[in-house]
């Protein structure tokens, strides 16, 4: 599983970072999503999936 | 005006349905059940004179909110209800809630780290806990009964957002007064300006002071980061951002808390479930926001000739998204009117959806969670002190909810780490 982030769309709601803090963070200076782990382990699939769906702006997607 | 809806969808002009707490204290006006089924995208006349499309199904509301290119926020969130709102007036400096695209993102990204980052929220939690414990202590000292809205919810959310931004509790009247102007449906432009001006003057001063003597608060950090933004933020913009946080940040959350606790106490089985298993609190908070969030609905404007749910909508048409109706759509949430503390609420629209989704949602969640956890733990015997039918609801405001929540209790337990 690979995480993709189209950061141009980010509106800084922090939902991804709060849902899956091991995988996402919110930049302290620019307020833009930071992907901490690009290929998270499979056991995090459910949490990462929820984080991706929690983004209201369609920034995040998952590739196999 | 013709109120019949039994002709083909959208061929008649319906009056915009308004909240009816007397008949439906925990949901949208009953007519929405029929609109979703028969006229999901229909023409309405609003109290402000605006004519718009009213969209009531979950799938359609979510589609429109999720597509800022076809549906702009330019008219303003609640121009369908507010006498002072003019969808065509020019956008003021720093009035980001009516902007779209990169111009808009610049604001959200400047505020995001202060209000939405896991680090910030972890630091905010002890502040909110202290405020909540202090307020519950005050309820204990005064003894029952009390009004959970004015005596608990409003002070808690006021102190929390003030503490976050950096405005002392003693100065709260400034943003309370501004908010009563902004959210009242009868204030005109002149009255609105008068209600907001003292807050703006105060914040201008505060911005200047924090630039010279920064403190550990959101305003100081936003001021410090302002010159490195692209383009740098002006003082007018900094004032606008902090004013919005304060004005939008207390009654929204206090009303959701009061409304939610009212619903829980009205359904003692659900309250007992929560008391027995406080791990259900965060899910309950989402359920409260699903049930009550966005009660006033929000407005967009079509930027192109397009369609919603198969119905043609012309460029320049106004569209009202009935968020609460969407969240009560049985296609999205089974038995939608039922308060269920263990419900799967994923995808609810109580904070909106798309790029303009509530920017205070993480602080709202934090405040609601901490407050509800403390109430179920410290005041397990909490109950309504009046029948539901006697609970008054607010009128004349876009923040829909109870005006008072009379409660009583047998005993209040000490705060954690506090002696009995
Ligand atoms: C339970 C409490 C709350 C609810 C139900 C709520 C609901 C909403 C909704 C539905 C929207 C979407 C508007 C749109 O799409 O045009 C919104 C936007 C907004 N909310 Fe909240 N809100 C709450 C708490 C807060 C708090 C605590 C703050 C401030 C700290 C806040 C500040 C805002 C602002 C500034 C916007 C406009 C965002 C934009 O246009 O970019 N809200 N809120």
Per-residue pLDDT at B7 exceeds 60: no
Q: Ligand 1 in contact with B111 (CB < 6 A)?
A: no
From the CA atom positions of chain A, what is the Rg in Å?
10
- What's the CATH class of domain A2-63? alpha beta
CA-closest candidate to residue B386, choices B218, B265, B230: B265
Tell me the C-alpha distance between B265 and A6, whole Å: 44
Asked if the C-beta of B361 comes within 8 angstroms of chain A's C-beta atoms, the answer is yes
Atom 23, ligand 1: residue with shortest CA distance? B252
pLDDT of residue A9: 96
Q: What is the mean pLDDT of chain B?
A: 94
Chain A residues with CB-CB distance to B66 below 8 A: 56, 58
Please give the structure tokens belonging to residue A43.
Answer: 């056991």
Cα B248 to ligand 1 centroid, rounded to whole Å: 7
Chain B residues with CB-CB distance to A13 below 8 A: 112, 116, 357, 359, 361-362
Tell me the pLDDT tens digit for each residue of B226-285. 999 999 999 999 999 999 999 999 999 999 999 999 999 999 999 999 999 999 999 999
Per-residue pLDDT at B420 exceeds 80: no
Please count the helices (runs of H) and the strands (runs of E) in chain B. Answer: 14, 11
* B12 compared with B297, residue with greater pLDDT: B297
Class of residue A28 by CB neighbours under 10 A (exposed 0-12, middle 13-18, buried 19+): middle
Question: Residue B17 carries which DSSP code?
Answer: P
pLDDT of residue B81: 87
Tell me the pLDDT tens digit for each residue of B31-64. 999 999 999 999 999 988 899 999 999 999 999 9
For chain A positions 3-22, those within 8 Å of chain B (CB to CB) are 9-15, 17-18, 21
Q: Ligand 1 in contact with B327 (CB < 6 A)?
A: no
Tell me the pLDDT tens digit for each residue of B123-145. 999 999 999 999 999 999 999 99
Residue of A nearest to B360 (CA): A13
Per-residue pLDDT at B3 exceeds 60: no
Q: Tell whether the torsion through CA atoms of B29, B34, B37 and B38 is positive or negative.
A: negative
Cα B97 to ligand 1 centroid, rounded to whole Å: 10
Please say whether the beta carbons of B377 and B286 come within 8 A: no
pLDDT of residue B209: 98
Class of residue B131 by CB neighbours under 10 A (exposed 0-12, middle 13-18, buried 19+): buried
Q: B113 CA to chain A: closest CA distance, Å?
A: 5
Please count the helices (runs of H) and the strands (runs of E) in chain A. Answer: 2, 4
Instruction: Locate the DSSP E strands across A8-64.
Output: 24-26, 33-35, 60-63
Per-residue pLDDT at B9 exceeds 80: no
Q: In which band, very low, low, confident or very high, does the pLDDT at A46 lie, cut at 50, 70 and 90?
A: very high
pLDDT of residue B8: 46
Instruction: Tell me whether 0.90 is exceeded by the ipTM.
Output: yes
Q: A21 CA to chain B: closest CA distance, Å?
A: 8
Among B79, B178, B252, B297, the mutation site with the greatest number of ligand 1 atoms within 8 A of its Cβ is B252
pLDDT of residue B1: 33
Q: In which band, very low, low, confident or very high, does the pLDDT at B186 lie, cut at 50, 70 and 90?
A: confident
Q: Which atom of ligand 1 is nearest to the CA of B256?
A: 1
CB contact under 8 A, A11 and B361: no
Domains of chain B and CATH, by start: 14-408 (1.10.630.10)
pLDDT of residue B11: 62
pLDDT of residue B183: 84
Asked if the C-beta of B294 comes within 8 angstroms of chain A's C-beta atoms, the answer is no
Chain A residues with CB-CB distance to B218 below 8 A: none
Q: What residues does each domain of chain A span?
A: 2-63
Mean pLDDT of B371-385: 98
């Amino acid at each position: 599983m690979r995480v993709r982030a189209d950061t141009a769309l980010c509106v800084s709601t922090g939902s991804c970072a709060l849902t899956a803090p091991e995988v996402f963070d919110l930049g302290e200076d620019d307020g833009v999503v930071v992907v901490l782990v690009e290929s998270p382990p499979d056991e995090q699939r459910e949490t990462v999936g929820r984080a991706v769906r929690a983004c209201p702006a369609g920034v995040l997607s998952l590739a196999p | 005006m013709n109120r019949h809806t039994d002709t083909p969808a959208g061929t008649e002009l319906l009056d915009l349905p308004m909240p009816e707490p007397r008949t439906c204290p925990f949901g949208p006006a009953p007519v929405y059940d029929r609109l979703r089924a028969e006229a999901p995208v229909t023409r309405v006349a609003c109290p402000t004179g605006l004519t718009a499309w009213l969209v009531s199904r979950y799938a359609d509301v979510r589609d429109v909110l999720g597509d800022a290119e076809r549906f702009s926020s330019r008219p303003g969130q609640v121009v369908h209800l507010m006498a002072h709102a003019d969808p065509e007036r020019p956008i003021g400096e720093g009035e980001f809630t009516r902007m779209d695209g990169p111009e808009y993102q610049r604001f959200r990204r400047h505020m995001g780290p202060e209000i939405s980052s896991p680090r910030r929220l972890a630091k905010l939690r002890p502040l909110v806990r202290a405020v909540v414990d202090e307020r519950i202590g005050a309820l204990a000292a005064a003894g029952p009964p009390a009004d959970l809205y004015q005596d608990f919810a409003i002070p808690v959310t006021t102190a929390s957002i003030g503490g976050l931004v950096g405005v002392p509790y003693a100065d709260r009247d400034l943003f309370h007064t501004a908010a009563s102007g902004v959210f009242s449906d009868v204030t005109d432009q002149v009255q609105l300006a008068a209600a907001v001006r003292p807050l703006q003057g105060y914040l201008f001063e505060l911005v200047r002071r924090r630039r010279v003597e920064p403190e550990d608060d959101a305003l100081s950090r936003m001021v410090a980061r302002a010159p490195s933004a692209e383009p740098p933020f002006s003082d007018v913009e900094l004032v606008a951002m902090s004013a919005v946080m304060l004005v939008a940040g207390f009654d929204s959350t206090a009303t959701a808390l009061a409304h939610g606790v009212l619903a829980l106490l009205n359904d003692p089985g659900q309250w007992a479930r929560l008391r027995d298993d406080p791990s259900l609190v965060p899910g309950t908070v989402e359920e409260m926001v699903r049930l009550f969030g966005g009660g006033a609905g929000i407005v967009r404007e079509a930027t192109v000739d397009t369609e919603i749910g198969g119905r043609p909508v012309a460029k320049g048409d106004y569209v009202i998204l009935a968020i609460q109706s969407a969240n009560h759509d049985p296609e999205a949430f089974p038995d939608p009117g039922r308060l269920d503390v263990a419900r799967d609420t994923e995808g609810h629209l109580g904070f909106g959806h798309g790029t303009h989704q509530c920017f205070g949602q993480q602080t709202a969640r934090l405040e609601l969670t901490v407050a509800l956890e403390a109430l179920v733990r410290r005041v397990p015997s909490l109950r309504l002190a009046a029948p539901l039918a006697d609970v008054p609801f607010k009128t004349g405001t876009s923040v829909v909810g109870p005006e008072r929540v009379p409660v009583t209790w047998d005993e209040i337990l000490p705060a954690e780490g506090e002696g009995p």
